[in-house]
Copies of this chain bind each other. A is one copy, B any other.
Amino acid sequence: MARAGTQNADLAERLLAGDKRALARAISLVEDDDPQGWALVREVYPHTGKAAIVGFTGPPGVGKSTLIGALTAHARQADRGVAVLSIDPSSPFTKGALLGDRIRLTDHFLDSGVFIRSMATRGSLGGLSEATLQAALLMDASGKDDVFLETVGVGQAEVDIIDHADTVVLVLMPGSGDSIQALKAGVMEIPDVIAVNKSDHPLTDTMIREIRGVLSLGPPEEWQVPIVKTEASRAEGVEELQQQIAAHREHIESKGSLVERRRRNLMNEVVALAAGRLRRRLERSIQEDSGVQELLDEVVARRLDPASAASQLLERDL
């Protein structure tokens, strides 16, 4: 125990000093739901809050990783430390397609100022959103100037994962009709910046007009969502995207809304962490408790309704 404590203190020190291997080790601990990982986050938490956290969301295949790779190169030119956290969907069959995309990031693997990590969406013991937050905090504590979070998805759940971000970038490409409809219908929240990647496609301008049309339907906001054309594989438009992300940050800093946003995010995170733990306790009780099994059998036999079973579960379990 004393030894673990010492190791942890060591790890925290190395992490705070910006040691890449210490950061990697710390994230693994968090991902494995190891109590040492939680202790470490607790220890370094007072040193967080300095990084600019940018979340990237959008459907698979639009080139988010390539874009993040290009933004990383750009940040490195300005001598900023960068950490990238990619949330990988655990596909039942086509891992390859996404990994192929990710390869673009390997250009930066040897750069000591860049840290890259991906996490799987399922199988993470402690819940993914939880692990994402902890990993982002560790990256922040290790002194990175920019933390890029990437989720692959098209629904609200994916947007929730990057709710830890100060700035949310939605990446689309010509053909992303479903996402535009989702924005229009209010199924997906309006992001802070929109990038239209693969913009050498002939339908790019039509799509940008469509997006502008959707945005114009909303109530007038102080921040006008910029739409940036990019061609990430040739690094085109990356500088403008970087400028718009920086402009958004300046905007929320000057309006005081960065503080407000972080406050709201942190509150949501605490609730989500607590709720997630409660849920896992419940799931465990279902697997382990034969009384709970009997309760569920009654539901399946249509003798006890699901809501009453839930009430009885809450009474016995907690």
Contacts and interface: CB of A to CB of B under 8 A. Distances in A.
A300 to B, nearest CB: 5
A154 B98 CA distance: 19
A76 to B, nearest CB: 27
A227 to B, nearest CB: 17
The residue among A283, A305, A309 with the most chain B CB atoms within 10 A of its own CB is: A305
Nearest to A318: B318
B38 A186 contact: no
Interface string A249-286: 00000000000001100110111011101110011001
Nearest to A184: B94
Given A92-B186, A178-B154, A277-B314, A270 B45 contact: no
Given A218-B93, A262-B300, A277-B314, A98 B185 contact: yes
A76 B181 CA distance: 31
Contact of A300 (B178, B266, B308): B266
Contacts of A89: 185-187
A307 interface: yes
A266 to B, nearest CB: 5
Contacts of A295: 270
A177 B302 CA distance: 41
A119 to B, nearest CB: 15
B60 A303 contact: no
A94 B273 contact: no
A310 interface: yes
A97 interface: yes
Interface string A291-318: 0000110011011111111110110011
Given A270-B313, A299-B270, A60 B181 contact: yes
Interface in A180-234: 181-182, 184-188, 190, 217-219
Contact of A176 (B137, B177, B286, B307): B177
Contacts of A188: 154
A134 interface: yes
Contacts of A262: 300
Given A153-B155, A306-B269, A59 B299 contact: no
Contacts of A279: 271, 275, 278
Most B C-beta atoms less than 10 A away, residue of A152, A153, A158, A190: A153
Nearest to A292: B270
A313 B275 CA distance: 10
Q: What 7 pairs across the A-B complex have the smallest Cβ distances?
A: A155-B155, A91-B186, A273-B310, A45-B305, A60-B185, A59-B178, A178-B178
Interface of A: 38, 41-42, 45-46, 48-49, 59-62, 89-94, 97-98, 130, 133-134, 137, 152-158, 175-179, 181-182, 184-188, 190, 217-219, 262-263, 266-267, 269-271, 273-275, 277-279, 282-283, 286, 295-296, 299-300, 302-311, 313-314, 317-318
